[in-house]
Structures are given as C-alpha cells and as structure tokens.
Structure 1
Amino acid sequence: MRALFPSPSHGALTFHRSTQYPWSNDLPSIVGDAQWCIVYAPIRVGGVLGQSLTPQEAAALVVAHLPDGCGPAFEGPCPQQDNPID
C-alpha cells in the first residue's frame, strides 16, 4: 500500500497506480476517521467490502483486495481511462 499513490479528500483515502489525472480508479478506498472506517470496492465494481473497521483493519482489507501484480505507482496519468492498468 505504501507504494501506491494516496489521495486524501473529504474524509476519504483513495489509492491509485498513477500519480496524475486521469487516475486508475481500480483500487479500494477507505472512508472514516481514527475510530471507524468503511472500505469501498473500486468504483467500477461498487459496493462495500467492510464497515465498522479500525483503521488497521481497513488497511489490511485494502491490501487483501489489491489486484494481482499491483506494483508501485508510476509517474504520470493512467494510460487509458477506460482500461485501468492490470
């Protein structure tokens, strides 16, 4: 997770494989605070992966749902907005 590009905004923490817009938008995200969190599936999948989680549990759930071969974020935009990096 440390190698991904984090984007905190409005109580949400999203992760991307690219460092510039358009983002990859194919990774789970976390919404919450220091007491509880909700982990959402990637935008294209939709849905909740877990709720009422501690921040540590939320981070573990994000890691468990990263796609195979998800490496460090690369400099620049996602090559194709309609086809996230696989």
Structure 2
Amino acid sequence: MTNDEAPPTAAEIVATAWRTVLAYGPDRVDPAVPRAAHSHAALRELFPAVSHGVLYLSRCIQFPWTRDIGTAFPQASGGYRVRRQSDNTLLGVTETAEEAYRLIAAHLPEDCGPAIDGTANDL
C-alpha cells in the first residue's frame, strides 16, 4: 500500500478473510463448512475465523470478536451441534453443514449487518 492508497474497508477485509478460509484444506476445517456458511448472503458479510476445526463468525473484524453468532461444532458421531456462545443457547443439532448454517442464518441477532471495523465492545 502506498501513501496514496486508502486502508482496506471492513468489507474488503471480510472478503479477503473468506477467500483465505474457503481455500483451507481438510487439515484446518472440513471444506464443506465454510462453503455452507458462505452460501448465505447474511453470513458472507460476517468476519470468518477458524480454530480447532471450527468456523466462527463475528460481527466485527477486530479482537475481541462477537460471540452472538451461532457456531456449528462438529460431532464425533457426525452432524453438528449449533450453539450461540454469548448465552450458551443450543440452537439445534443438524445432520449436515448446510442445515447447520441455515439454522445459524435464521438466528442472527437483530440488526445484524455487515461486520464493522471495530471490536465487540464497539457494537
């Protein structure tokens, strides 16, 4: 970036993060998981991060991230347990990643818009 270039916007940072996450191999996350999440326009606007094989989504691009978006935790027996970490609410148990992210998209917080350039404390 030169001095004449503006820093990237939150939307550009989110898009770059999605490209990175979608390119991960199965050693980082089951590729079906980010693909299923990315297929929902509302989830595509959120900041993605992967840790321990789990995809997390946040309404902000800086740490600390939000914890009010559902997360699909893979189960050893198959399927996903979908939980919102902010209040430890079980949103449901699904058989597929597609079902899990459909459930997550249906339980987004009110006024959940594109991820902001800030932290959870800024919301």
Q: TM-score, normalising length from structure 2?
A: 0.57
**Which structure dedicates a bigger proportion of its chain to strand?**
1
1:10: how far off?
0.7
Which deviates further from its counterpart, 47-56 or 58-67?
47-56
Higher relative contact order, chain-length normalized (CA < 8 Å, sep 6+): 1
Secondary structure, in 3 states, of the residue corresponding to 1:67? coil
Q: Work out the number of aligned pairs and report it.
A: 79
Which deviates further from its counterpart, 45-54 or 23-32?
45-54
Identity %: 37
Cα RMSD between the aligned structures? 1.8
**Which structure dedicates a bigger proportion of its chain to helix?**
2
The equivalent of 1:37 in structure 2 is 80
Secondary structure, in 3 states, of the residue corresponding to 1:56? helix
Gap regions ≥5 residues in structure 2: 1-42
Structure index of larger Rg: 2
1:57: how far off?
0.3
The equivalent of 1:24 in structure 2 is 66
Question: How do 1:1-86 residues align onto structure 2 when only pairs under 5 Å count?
Answer: 1-32=43-74, 36-41=79-84, 43-80=85-122, 85=123
Secondary structure, in 3 states, of the residue corresponding to 1:13? strand
Measured in 2, the distance between the counterparts of 1:9 and 1:45 equals 20
Secondary structure, in 3 states, of the residue corresponding to 1:71? coil
Gap regions ≥5 residues in structure 1: none
